[in-house]
């Protein structure tokens, strides 16, 4: 009996330590991921792309704001933002945080938490919810107080020269490299309209695509159109991972092996590169990470 009680005590103590680490330490242990993507037209100069996602900013996250602001020192050639910047009505703080990067060419799409504040749910629901789950925009008929002031943030991004790719296309030229971009509004709440941006790639340009959540239907459509590189976020890298096993869930229908980092997506006749950011934050109602620190990624794009 004493041995059983001792083992139970050790297990309880280990669980408490893991929970404390996941709630108090890892969410502040920001990490810069590096990756090399072979996707540029032959003969192009290298391009450095900073991918940020899922900031989920609230008013009191000074440590996060300072770390993200420090990324301006990297002097990227292009900034990609795949949404969920907000978890509270603080668009001015998002703009302040990203101000050092707004002078760099950039492009963005939004996620559901740019439009609607998160609501309390049992945190365990996140760990047992179906990875295929998605939500329609009017599923809960959200009350007005849940609506977030996303328009000032969008206007600040656009005024700085960033491309709004929510169901839209855009073009850039960086270091002489022609870049064609397309994006969709958040597929997790079914705001995406891929037919509005569909079409085969320009073989003389770099083709980039943005979608907040990497649902298979969009990855298939983008790869069928022979996009070179797809950027997504939303998954939080699983947020809670098991060492040696990886993510428990993905919060969409992508497989666990591609829940974060650089991978590929293949369709008949073409393979696109896919980069999924593990993101910089999480819902204030599920404020923990384990074996999955918050991150941004600096990708070096090199010729195919």
**Contact by Cβ (8 Å): 108, 153:** no
In this predicted structure, the answer to whether residue 175 has a pLDDT above a threshold of 90 is yes
Mean pLDDT of 79-100: 98
pLDDT for residue 26:
85
SS3 helix, strand, coil % of the chain, rounded to 5? 30, 25, 40
- Check whether 131 has a pLDDT greater than 60: no
Share of the chain above pLDDT 90, in %: 78
Query: What mean pLDDT is reported for the chain?
Result: 90
By C-alpha distance, which of 244, 248, 246, 212 is closest to 230? 212
* Tens-place pLDDT, residues 179-209: 999 999 999 999 999 999 999 999 999 999 9
Reference 95, options 71, 69, 72; nearest CA is 69
Q: Is the pLDDT of residue 13 over 60?
A: no
Identify whether the C-beta of residue 240 lies closer than 8 Å to the C-beta of residue 22. Answer: yes
Query: What are 225-276's pLDDT values in tens digits?
Result: 999 999 999 999 999 999 989 999 999 999 999 999 999 999 999 999 999 9
Q: What percent of the chain has pLDDT over 70?
A: 84
Q: What is the pLDDT of residues 54-65, one digit of tens each?
A: 999 999 999 999
Q: Could you tell me the pLDDT band of residue 287, with boundaries at 50, 70 and 90?
A: confident
Compute the half-sphere exposure of residue 208: CA atoms within 13 Å on the CB side of its CA: 32
Separation between Cα atoms, residue 271 and residue 92, nearest integer Å: 39
The pTM of this model reads: 0.90
DSSP string over 95-148: HHHTGGGTTS-EEE---HHHHB------HHHHHHS-TT----TTTT---GGGB-
Assess whether pLDDT exceeds 60 at residue 36: yes
pLDDT of residue 288: 87
pLDDT per residue as tens digits for the range 145-169:
689 999 999 999 999 999 999 999 9
With a cut of 50, say whether residue 141 has pLDDT above it. Answer: no
- Residue 96 phi, psi (nearest 5): -60, -45
pLDDT of residue 126: 57
Work out the pLDDT band at 25, boundaries 50, 70, 90. confident
pLDDT grade for 15, boundaries at 50, 70 and 90: very low
Q: Which two tokens stand for residue 6?
A: 């001792």
């Amino acid at each position: 009996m004493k041995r059983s009680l001792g083992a139970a005590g050790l297990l309880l103590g280990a669980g408490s330590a893991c929970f404390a680490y996941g709630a108090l330490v890892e969410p502040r242990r920001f990490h810069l991921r590096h990756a090399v993507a072979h996707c540029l037209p032959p003969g192009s100069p290298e391009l450095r792309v900073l991918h940020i996602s899922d900031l989920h900013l609230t008013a009191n996250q000074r440590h996060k704001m300072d770390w993200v602001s420090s990324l301006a020192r990297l002097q990227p050639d292009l900034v990609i933002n795949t949404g969920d910047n907000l978890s509270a009505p603080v668009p001015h703080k998002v703009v302040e945080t990203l101000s050092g990067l707004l002078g760099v060419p950039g492009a963005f799409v939004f996620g559901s938490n740019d439009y609607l504040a998160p609501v309390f749910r049992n945190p365990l629901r996140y760990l047992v919810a179906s990875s295929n789950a998605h939500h329609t925009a009017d599923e809960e008929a959200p009350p007005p107080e849940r609506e977030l002031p996303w328009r000032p943030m969008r206007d600040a991004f656009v005024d700085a020269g960033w491309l709004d790719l929510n169901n839209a296309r855009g073009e850039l030229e960086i270091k002489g490299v022609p870049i064609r971009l397309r994006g969709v509004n958040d597929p997790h709440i079914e705001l995406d309209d891929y037919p509005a941006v569909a079409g085969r790639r320009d073989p003389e340009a770099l083709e980039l695509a943005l979608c907040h959540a990497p649902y298979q239907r969009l990855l298939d459509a983008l790869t069928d159109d022979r996009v070179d590189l797809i950027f997504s976020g939303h998954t939080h890298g699983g947020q809670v991972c098991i060492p040696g096993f990886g993510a428990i869930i993905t919060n969409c229908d992508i497989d666990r092996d591609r829940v974060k980092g650089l991978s590929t997506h293949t369709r008949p006749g073409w393979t696109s590169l896919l980069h999924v950011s593990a993101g910089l934050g999480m819902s204030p109602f599920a404020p923990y990470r384990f074996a999955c620190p918050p991150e941004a990624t600096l990708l070096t794009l090199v010729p195919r």
